[in-house]
Amino acid sequence: MQRLPHPTMIGELKLTVLKARLGEVGVHAELIGEGVLVCRGSDDESSVAVRKSARGQVELEGTVCDVYYKVRREIYGLHALVSSRVMTHVIYSDPMCCIYIFLVYSVVR
């Protein structure tokens, strides 16, 4: 049985939704360009950038600070996370079961 390298995030990140969620937790966020959200804390010195590629990959770039962890927490909150151990047991048994587990997991979370 093959193990996946890391937990998998299920869902599609919408930067406008992330921007609204960050505003609720006190992080100023501004969309600049296509697929880039710049996030700043109250001190205006620390900032991070969230980039979303055309293929849907999400990158979080910046110094490790309070803003970084707040943004990361909100990104995780907008996705269902499935551990590699769970996926390993499900993927190789039945594709329909895999879809069922994802749906249940995202609803329970």
pLDDT of residue 82: 74
Residue 3 lies in a domain: no
Residue 16 lies in a domain: yes
pLDDT of residue 15: 93
Residue 63 lies in a domain: yes
Residue 1 lies in a domain: no
pLDDT of residue 4: 52
Q: Which domain holds residue 99?
A: 8-108
What is the residue-wise DSSP string for 29-85?
EEE-STTEEEEE-TTSS-EEEEEE-TT--EEEEE-SSHHHHHHHHHHHHTSEEE-HH
Domain count, the chain: 1
Residue 2 lies in a domain: no
| DSSP code, position 92 | T
Residue 25 lies in a domain: yes
pLDDT of residue 35: 87
Task: Return the H-helix or E-strand segment holding 96.
Answer: helix 95-108
pLDDT of residue 94: 44
Q: What is the pLDDT along the chain (109 residues), one digit of tens a residue?
A: 555 566 677 778 899 999 999 999 999 999 998 889 999 987 767 899 999 888 888 899 998 889 999 999 999 888 877 765 544 444 444 444 444 444 443 333 4
pLDDT of residue 3: 56
Tokens coding 75: 């990104």
pLDDT of residue 37: 96
Contact by Cβ (8 Å): 49, 72: no
CATH number, domain with residue 30: 3.30.310
